[in-house]
Amino acid sequence: MKLKKIAMGLSALMLSVWASAQPPMLIHSHNDYCRRMPFYQAYAQGVHSIEADVFLHKGKLLVGHDIEDLRDEMTFEQMYVRPLVTLFGRNGGKAWADSDENLQLLVELKSETEPTLKAVVKMLRKYPSVFDPSVNRHAVRIAITGNVPSPEEFSEYPEWIAFDGQWDEDYTPEQLERIALVSANFRNFSKWKGKGSIVESEAAKLQEVIDRVHAWNKPVRFWGAPEGITVYYTFWNMGIDYMNTDRPEQCAEFYNDFGNKNFQIGAKTPFESGRVTRTKRLDKATRNFSGFQSEKMHLSKGIEVYQPSFLNDGALSRVRNVILLIGDGMGLEQIMAGLYANHGLSLATLKHIGFQRTHALNAFTTDSAAAGSALATGESHNNRHVSATGDNVPVPSLSDFFVGKGCPVGVVTLGDVSDATPAAFYGHSTERDNSDILTAYLTDGCIDLLCGSGIAKFTKREDGRNLAEELEAKYSFVRSVDAINAREGKVICIDEQMGEAASEENLPLLAQATREAIRKLQARSDNGFFLMVEGAKIDYAGHARCLPGSVIETLSFDLAVAEALKFADSNGETLVIVTADHETGGLMLLDGDEKTGRVMGVYVTDDHTPALIPVFAYGPGAREFMGCYRNTEIPHRIKALTEENDR
């Protein structure tokens, strides 16, 4: 039986975890006294449970693993009891000032049971507001492990003393009420060292323990288990309740913000209710982004995948129209996450694939200004420069090239129109934050359509100009994607929905804008057209380390890709190129389920990376985009293909 099948009995439990705001696993700081800063090191990570091994030695309760390790200054009271008493006084009678969660103190009795436990009870009784839940509902929960008294003796101790159970014990209902958790030695069931997958027969033995303990409605912990990232998600998948850790910082980092590491269509992502995931990494044009809201980070169903006809794919025939789609921040892992979650992507159906290197002129790792400008102009740029040299000389873009050929040009972004990537196709500046300078280039009337968010860049500018009024002579201003084709002539569409995070309600918005843009540009001329479409907020999700946001934004972008492919199939003379300016976040997928579409991933940074970026091409000339090359090659190859039409 497969490991996934073994875990199916816990599906109801897993769904409840996903739907709740509780931590995905309870973290237990094993042998806590071995930390550099016992108690405080684990406490600082917000763990659920902390362990202290206690000996009654020469009349003192001392902490240590073996009797030869004991030192007079390492007393149970000094290391654990007094710090808790101090914290409860400081935090208003709670373990944490900002949380109502109860902390568990797992006391392992290493010396003779009865005298040691009686000494522990005597000490803790001095602080009922800290250790007795009948006095304070936020009190520390005390659980006894190690030399635990027999179940028949549980009732001899105060009700606020609970015990660590044995999975193969037969407890009475009354005795079960005194069990706080059930612990077992992992090595009695498996030899797994934390690499790859657990042997199926061993997983079955572990599952027997898990199922029996859960049937008692108790949490289960395995001590002596391996540790590491693979163990963390494997134990979560299996439904183990406690992660027994000797690395509380690493363990807490993995399980922290767990909702942003997981996504599955049709399932609620485990976010805290009302939570908004934001990033401080955005630049001036986009820093007002409202963030990824927890209630909207789910989809009830996937998107439709378009299957191209491939009739003109790779042909040597004429290229009249070019549609360049840029998924800002979209690397291979972002594509894979969307692909697995949705069971397919339209862009993943394409056959002509290459890779581009994204380095900036002055930095190994590029920003969007340099990378977007490279895709726009075919020249390398410094970071923060938008289609301009270091001497602030404008560098002509593909927009200028196509306008020179008498072709209409459109720029569409699911973000702010003055941000670096869209601005690179109509403006020029040595500073990407110079929104006033960049948008002022629109007065040239070079492009035929601009669509995105950011009305303030036209009406509430730092230079005091009302650019919207100045542009009225050349453009019709509309405030909804629906109205792009309601006006003849050139159009600037500022739809503030384009600046919001993609969600189930607005998922098709970029696709709609792409469809309307194609219609607008096609009607403007018989010479063909150039259209750039940006999926801007895949990048935002990478900066925010939000996997659900990344997947949903990627699916929104893929719907726009599908619109471009549909038009290319109906037209026969359209080249479609799908790529990114760079990767954001260093996303790495760790786990998933091909059948359900569940994906799990972590980000290694909240900034850009120099990862290779895929280039997908479709239609006539698509073969020219295979191979591995600098990002500056893409516009040169586009120009070369369209210039052949003029010969």
How do residues 477-524 score in pLDDT, each as one tens digit?
Answer: 999 999 999 999 999 999 999 999 999 999 999 999 999 999 999 999
Beta bridge partners of residue 142, listed in sequence order:
105, 161
Quote the CA–CA distance of 422 and 536 in Å, as a whole number: 9
Using pLDDT thresholds of 50, 70 and 90, give the confidence band for residue 269: low
Quote the CA–CA distance of 132 and 631 in Å, as a whole number: 65
Q: Which two tokens stand for residue 321?
A: 């129209």
Query: Is 14's pLDDT higher than 80?
Result: no
Quote the CA–CA distance of 191 and 395 in Å, as a whole number: 62
Q: Write down the H helix ranges in 244-346.
A: 248-255, 332-342
Cβ–Cβ under 8 Å, residues 65 and 279 = no
Quote the CA–CA distance of 363 and 631 in Å, as a whole number: 14
Using pLDDT thresholds of 50, 70 and 90, give the confidence band for residue 268: confident
Cβ–Cβ under 8 Å, residues 368 and 538 = no
Quote the CA–CA distance of 11 and 8 in Å, as a whole number: 5
Quote the CA–CA distance of 589 and 600 in Å, as a whole number: 6
Q: Which two tokens stand for residue 189?
A: 């069931």
For every residue of 434-460, which 3-state class applies, written as one string? CHHHHHHHHHHCCCCEEEEECCHHHHC
Q: Which two tokens stand for residue 525?
A: 């001329």
What pLDDT shows up at residue 24? 83
Using pLDDT thresholds of 50, 70 and 90, give the confidence band for residue 284: confident
Query: Is 366's pLDDT higher than 80?
Result: yes
Cβ–Cβ under 8 Å, residues 63 and 79 = yes
High-pLDDT (> 90) share of the chain, %: 88
Using pLDDT thresholds of 50, 70 and 90, give the confidence band for residue 646: low
At 103-135, the pLDDT tens digits run 999 999 999 999 999 999 999 999 999 999 999
Cβ–Cβ under 8 Å, residues 428 and 391 = no
Q: What is the DSSP letter of 205?
A: H
Q: Is 398 exposed, middle or buried (0-12, 13-18, 19+ CB in 10 A)?
A: buried
Q: What is the DSSP string of 107-138?
A: EEE-S-HHHHHHHHHHHHTT-HHHH-TTT-TT
Cα dihedral 94→97→101→103 (10° resolution): -60
What pLDDT shows up at residue 10? 36
Q: Which two tokens stand for residue 125?
A: 């009784």
Query: Is 264's pLDDT higher than 60?
Result: yes
Quote the CA–CA distance of 280 and 278 in Å, as a whole number: 7
What pLDDT shows up at residue 645? 63
Other Cβ atoms closer than 10 A to 526: 10
Q: What is the mean pLDDT of residues 221-227?
A: 97
Cβ–Cβ under 8 Å, residues 489 and 476 = yes
Using pLDDT thresholds of 50, 70 and 90, give the confidence band for residue 17: very low
Q: What is the DSSP string of 154-192?
A: GGGS-TTEEEEE-TT----HHHHTTEEEEEEEGGGT---
> Which residue has tokens 């406690």?
242
Q: Which two tokens stand for residue 124?
A: 């803790």
What pLDDT shows up at residue 3? 39
Which of 67-76, 400-409, 432-441 is least confident?
Answer: 67-76
At 314-360, the pLDDT tens digits run 999 999 999 999 999 999 999 999 999 999 999 999 999 999 999 99
User: How distant, in Å, are the alpha carbons of 166, 355, 421, 609 from that of 581?
Assistant: 56, 12, 8, 11
User: How distant, in Å, are the alpha carbons of 64, 108, 171, 215, 297 from that of 177?
Assistant: 29, 19, 9, 13, 38
Q: Is 578 exposed, middle or buried (0-12, 13-18, 19+ CB in 10 A)?
A: buried
Quote the CA–CA distance of 480 and 491 in Å, as a whole number: 11
Query: pTM (2 decimals)?
Result: 0.92
Using pLDDT thresholds of 50, 70 and 90, give the confidence band for residue 599: very high
Quote the CA–CA distance of 236 and 238 in Å, as a whole number: 5
Using pLDDT thresholds of 50, 70 and 90, give the confidence band for residue 272: low
Which of 409-423, 461-475, 577-591 is least confident?
Answer: 461-475
Quote the CA–CA distance of 421 and 282 in Å, as a whole number: 13
Q: What is the layout of strands, in order, in the sheet containing 587-593? A: 262-263, 598-603, 587-593
Burial track 84-119 (b if 16+ CB lie within 10 A, e otherwise): bbebbeeeeebbeeeeeebbbbbbbbbbebeebbeb
Q: What is the mean pLDDT of residues 455-467?
A: 93
At 129-172, the pLDDT tens digits run 999 999 999 999 999 999 999 999 999 999 999 999 999 999 99
Greatest distance between any 2 Cα atoms in the chain? 99
Beta bridge partners of residue 416, listed in sequence order:
453
Identify the three-state secondary structure at position 223. strand
Query: Is 91's pLDDT higher than 90?
Result: yes
Using pLDDT thresholds of 50, 70 and 90, give the confidence band for residue 273: low
Query: Is 22's pLDDT higher than 80?
Result: no
User: How distant, in Å, are the alpha carbons of 227, 263, 275, 628 from that of 23?
Assistant: 18, 16, 14, 43
For β-strands 598-603 and 587-593, DSSP reports them as antiparallel
Other Cβ atoms closer than 10 A to 388: 24
Burial track 60-70 (b if 16+ CB lie within 10 A, e otherwise): ebbbbeeeeeb
What pLDDT shows up at residue 69? 84
What pLDDT shows up at residue 279? 86
